[in-house]
Structures are given as structure tokens and as C-alpha cells.
Structure 1
Amino acid sequence: MAMLTRLTSNGTTTVAPGSPKGLQRFQNYLSAFLWPGTSHRQQRKSSTQLDAIDSFTDELVNRKTQKWEELRDNLIKKSVVTEEHQSNSGNFSQNVGLMSKGMMNDLKQLRSPQLGLDIRSLSQPQLDNLLLATLEIKNKVDFLYLIKQCVRWQLLPCNEVFISCLRYLSTLGRLQQLDSLAETCRQLNHPFTITYSDLAPFKALALWNNGNADVALMTLHRGYSAGYQYIEGKRMMRSTFRTIAEETLAQKSEAVLISLTEVARAIHQEHNDIFMVACVWKQCFISSWFSDQKSASELYEHFKDLQRLVARRADGLCYSFLGHHNVDAVHRLIEVFLEHNERAACADSLSSLFDYHYNRKDLRACAEIVKSCSELEMPLKTEQNEQFLSLFLDNPDPFETTKNKGNKGNAIADKKYMPESFKYKF
């Protein structure tokens, strides 16, 4: 067989007859010589495939566009149908106007979720019971409807039920209804107008629940100045102020605390009432924040009336603190009493603290209190000394009171398996 040669730039390249590469090239040359249109067909075939892909892509785009156009047309049709429905409903309401009043009232009652009731047909006990029923089940819709009826027809419930309604409205933050009821009270010369200074404490609490802290405190301050001579009104003002003070410290609002302190100082200066200052002091004193405790210390140092009030109510304060298991507050209160030489108040605080630890059978804490009382020359009550003695005698090992139950159980188990001591028969 003849040798196949291929010209290159460097010369000639010789391919062996049995080489597979040589055979492949030879076949390619023959096919190109015999069928010169084969390569063009392959190119045409590839171009045909590209055209098919392009047409498929165009078809997808057209389908997508057509789909969005159909969706847009549907939305336009829906909006047109809605407008027609509204116009038809308007025509229906106009047609209802031609009906009798009885039928209109029936339709309104069927459509409205509220009570279809005229309170003018109710007696005073019935109105009171109906309002109490809505308050008990927290039916806000019917309750507000009844309040609206009360304002409209100027019919108010009895004082106790009225107070409950006002408190519920203040909890809901319904300032508009409270203003309407205050206006109704003025028109009827209701005693609440004077006693509660146009419902000032309830308005203040509603403003507070709506987030208007400064306006709430200003309303409370004005209401207190107008009705502090009435016992019930004064008590309600104090209760509202206490609620605001407790929630202020719970929310850790420094700005509101400053405003609250200023209002308390102003009320004390104007009316010589230390209660508001005492509320702020107590909430700051029991706080775990150092800044609040510092504010409490400043108030205690500044107001002598506050010092006398706290010393007089030391026993009640301790039980209040210990009721929330705030032993640290009682310890700090004892330190304050010792600094200001309030020995009687300090003795009462130590006695309350002893009762707290004795009820929990904490012998070590009771022993520390007895030791402190002995050093301070503030003896406990005779009954408490007897309780400490009985607690000491009932505990076989007073220095092991802090051991856990697991260790105690192991000790009992070890004792159980100890050999009995040897005993003589005689």
C-alpha cells in the first residue's frame, strides 16, 4: 500500500498505513471529494435547530404575555362588578327608605351585630344587670352600644355599676366615651362630676393606656387639685397614680419616672399629701436597678414626712416585700432604719423577717436574726424566742441544715446498714 503523506509548514508528515488516524483522515478526504454538500447540510441542520429553539422561546414569551393580559382583563372586570354591586346596594338602601319604619328597623337589627334594644323601656335594676352581664363576659360590642344608649337618652346606672363601667372604659382606652359620660354627668348634675373632677382619674388611666403619659399625669394632677377634698375622689386619684407608678417601673421608663416624680413633688407641695411621693419611693426602692434605688434614697433623704410614714408602716412594707420573696429589699430597709436611728421600725422589720424564715424552717437565717437582735439590743418577742428554741431542738445537727436531700438520704442509708452495737444480756 502506498504511504499517505500530508504537507505541513515544516515539511511532510508520513502516516502509517495501519494507523487509525490515517484511515479516519482518508475517509474524510474521500467523503469531501465524493459528496461535497455534506458539510453544508450539517451547517444547515445546526441552523435549523437554532431556529427551532428561537421559535420555541418566542412562543413561551407570547404565552406569558397573553396570560398577563388575561389576568389584567379579569381584574378590570372584577372592579367593574364591584362598582356595580355598590351602586346596586345604594339603590337598595334608597328603596329601603320607601319602606315602613318597622321594616327598616328589622333590617338594621338583622344586619347589626349589636343589641337591638332601647334602654328607655328598661327599669334601673334591669339596666344595671344588663351592664353587669356585658362586663362579666367582656362583651365589648354590646357594652359600648349600651354606653352609647346611656349617653343618648341620658340614663345612667347606679353608682357601683357606673364605677365598674368607667374602669372598664379606662382599661379599653375609650377616651371619647368617657368625655361623653362626663358631659352627661354635668347635664344631669350627677355627684360624680364633683367627686371625681369630671371623671379625671378614669380619663388619666385611659390616656395612660393609649400611650399619652404626659397628658395623663397632667390630667391626674388637675383632677387631684380640683377634688382632693372628697374622700372617694381622693382615693380613686391615689389608686390611679399607684397603677401608673407600678407600670412605669415595670416598663423601665426613665423619662416617665422623672415626670411622675415631678407630679408627686408638686402634689405634696400644693396639698401636703405625701402619698404620691411614697408610691414613687416604694416602686423605686423595690427595683433591682441601681438608678431606681438611688432615686428612692434621694426621696427618702429629702422628705421628712416620707421618713415618718415609712417608719410607721414598716411592718406592712416588710410583709409586702416578703410576699414577693424580696428579702433583699427588707435587708436594705433595715439598713435605712439603722442609719436614721429608727429602732422601733428596725425591730418590727427584724421580727417580720424572722417570721418569714421560721415558716420556711431556715434555722441558719433565724440564728443570724437572733444574733443581730442581741447585738443591736432589740430583743424578739417571747413567742419568737420559743419558736427559735423549738426549731433548734427539733434539728439534730443545726450546722447541717443546708445539705440537700440526697446527702441526707445517703446518710440514712449508711446508718441503716451499720452493724448494731454489741449488748450484754445482763
Structure 2
Amino acid sequence: MVYAIQKLVQRNNDYISLINGNFDHYVAESLWLNEEILKALPIFETVYRKHNHLRRKIRLTFKYLIFDVTNRSEAILVNIIKFSEHIMEDFKDDYMMSCIWQVCFISEWYTDQKLALDLLEKHANLSHSIISHIPTIVQISLRNHQVDVVQRLLEVLMQFQIESQYCYVLMALFNYKLQQRDLRSCSEIINWAVINNVKLPNTLHQKFLMLLLKKNEPIQPVKSPVSTDYKF
């Protein structure tokens, strides 16, 4: 279908073909979806280099294609990382690399998690780009009750001194534990924040106080309902 559109537009309107990069990025997307990723990558890179106005489109397409990258072979993953590194080095655009980092970080496989850490250590500026992915990681993980992922994320933030995100992650984790009425975990979160000089909002302390008061409330005995013999 894409090849047919290319031929049709080339015959009838060179301008439309030009502003759409001859629709080559759609060819690359189709190849990727048909399991021909190694053929798709050089096409994506060529379009990215030649057409400034299509770079945002390629970034967004890549974001949605990359979601299952950890289920691919190691060779494919290596080539995807090389493609992203080329874009980083030549255009100072590390968005696609940050997408790879997110997918690897939330993977259940240790090798993928290790790769995510290696990418941060190898590319110094990547730590700034992953900030935009942190809310997504936290929300997805807590929705799936994967508290360990959020805790691991906090460790990474500390290791690379991404202090701007400490508060957000702690608040999300606190609210999750609050919903479970887990007094001990809430207390540990607040203590950790105090020890590490992370200022949490007053509303969070108020929530903790309310939970503490409710936890200490005496249990009221439940009165049995009075039996009534109705005549109607």
C-alpha cells in the first residue's frame, strides 16, 4: 500500500512527495511491524537526517514501536541502540535512547535492567532525558503493584543525583501505601525523606497524621440490632 502511494504521488505531485520524505518513514514502520527491524532502522535514520520537519514524527513512531524491544533478539536490540546512538551523537537528540532506557528499566529481566543502568553510565546527558519518563514508570508500576520497580527507580535517581524527582517518586509511593493503610511503610518513607533532606509537602504529613490517629482509635463494639416483630 505504501509503495503504491509513493508511485502515485511521485507521478502526480512531487511537492507532496518531498514534504513527506517520499513516505519512506511509513515504509520503515511497515517493515518494523512485519518483523524486519534491521531493514527499517537505516530507512528511519536516512529520513531523520534528510528531513528536519519529520524528526518529531519519527520520534513518536519510534516511541510506540519500541515497547516490545526486550522481546526481540539481542542482535536487534544492539542495532536499535546503535541507531539511537548515531542520532544522539550527530544531532544531540537523546529522546529515542531515553525510550529504550524506559523499556529496559521496567523489564522483568535482570539483563535488561542492567542494560538500562549501563546506558546511563555510558551517556552522561541521558539522565536529564529520562526525567520525562519517570511519571509513566511510577504510574504503570504502582498500578500493577510493582513496588520494587519504584524502589529501584529511587535508587537509580540517587545514584545519578536526579534530585528533582525524589519528591515526586516518594509522594506516589506514600499515597500507594496510604491506600493500603500501611502505617509502617508510610512512616519509613517519611523518615527516609528526613534523613535524605527531601522536603515533602505538608499535605502528605497531614495524611500520615490522620492515618496514625485512625490506627490508634479504639475499636467500637458493634451493637446487635433490636429484633422487632412487625405486624404488617
TM range (shorter): 0.7 to 0.9
Rounded to whole Å, the distance in 2 between the matches of 1:194 and 1:359 is 54
Aligned equivalent of 2:207, options 384, 387, 399: 387
Residue in structure 1 matched with residue 186 of structure 2 by the alignment:
366
Written as runs of structure 1 = structure 2, the 5 A alignment for 1:98-177 is 177=1
Report what 2:94 is aligned to.
Answer: 274
2:161 partner amino acid: N
Q: Which residue of 2 aligns with 1:310?
A: 130
Matched, 1:186 2:7: no
C-alpha contact 1:315 1:352 (8 A) present in aligned 2: no
Give the TM-score normalised by structure 2. 0.84
Structure 1 window deviating more from structure 2 (183-192 vs 341-350): it is 183-192
Q: CA deviation at 1:351?
A: 1.8
1: CA distance, partners of 2:82 / 2:73 = 14
Is the 2:9–2:16 Cα contact (8 Å) retained in structure 1?
yes
CA distance in 1, matches of 2:84, 2:61: 13
The corresponding residue for 2:117 is 297
Question: 1:210–1:315: structure 2 CA closer, same or farther, 3 Å change rule?
Answer: closer
Aligned with 2:50 (options 217, 226, 230): 226
How many angstroms does 1:220 deviate by? 1.3
- Cα distance, 1:240 vs. partner? 2.1
1:206 equivalent to 2:30? Answer yes
CA distance in 1, matches of 2:17, 2:139: 37
Q: Which moved more, 1:336-345 or 1:383-392?
A: 336-345
Matching of residue 243 in structure 1 with residue 67 in structure 2:
no
- The 2-side partners of 1:280 and 1:386 are apart by 39
RMSD of aligned residue pairs (Cα, Å): 2.5
Please state how far the C-alpha of 1:200 moved relative to its aligned partner. 2.5
Q: CA deviation at 1:344?
A: 2.5
For 1:191 and 1:290, locate their aligned partners in 2 and report how far apart those are by CA, in whole Å: 49
> Does the C-alpha gap of structure 1 residues 187 and 321 become closer, same or farther in structure 2, counting only changes over 3 Å?
farther
The AA in structure 2 aligned to 1:208 is W
Whichever residue aligns with residue 377 of structure 1, its letter is N
Aligned partners of 2:63 and 2:99 also within 8 Å: yes
Instruction: Answer with 1 or 2: which has the greater Rg.
Output: 1
3-state secondary structure, aligned to 2:22: coil
Q: Which moved more, 1:384-393 or 1:318-327?
A: 318-327
Q: Deviations over 1:294-351 (max 9, x none)?
A: 1111111111221112246544543344344432222111111212233232222212
Any residues of structure 2 matched to 1:392-403 within 5 Å, and which? 392-396=212-216
* CA distance in structure 2 between the partners assigned to 1:194 and 1:305 by the alignment: 34
**Deviation by residue 1:361-405 (Cα, 9 ceiling, x = unmatched):** 3333222211211221213111111111112212237xxxxxxxx
AA matched with 1:248: V
List aligned pairs for 1:323-342, cutoff 5 A: 323-342=143-162
Answer yes or no: is the 8 Å Cα contact 1:314–1:348 preserved in 2. Answer: no
> Could you report, residue by residue, the CA deviation over 1:10-49 in whole angstroms, capped at 9, with x for unpaired residues?
xxxxxxxxxxxxxxxxxxxxxxxxxxxxxxxxxxxxxxxx
**Are 1:312 and 1:345, in contact at CA under 8 Å, matched by a contact in 2?**
no
Task: Give the distance between the partners of 2:49 and 2:141, measured in 1 at CA.
Answer: 31
Q: Does 1:262 align with 2:82?
A: yes
Task: Give the Cα–Cα distance (whole angstroms) in 2 for the partners of residues 312 and 242 of structure 1.
Answer: 13
2: distance between equivalents of 1:332 and 1:392?
27
CA distance in 1, matches of 2:72, 2:178: 34
User: Residue 102 of structure 2 contacts residue 130 of structure 2 at CA under 8 Å; is this kept in 1?
Assistant: no
Task: Answer yes or no: is 1:216 the counterpart of 2:37.
Answer: no
1:267 shift after superposition: 1.1
State the alpha-carbon separation in 2 of the partners of residues 191 and 330 from structure 1. 49
Unaligned runs of 5+ in 2: 224-232
Q: CA deviation at 1:223?
A: 1.6
**1:271 Cα offset (Å):** 1.4
Displacement, 1:265? 0.5
For the 8 Å contact 2:106–2:137, the answer to whether it is kept is no
The alpha-carbon distance between structure 1 residues 191 and 243, as it changes in their structure 2 partners (threshold 3 A), is farther
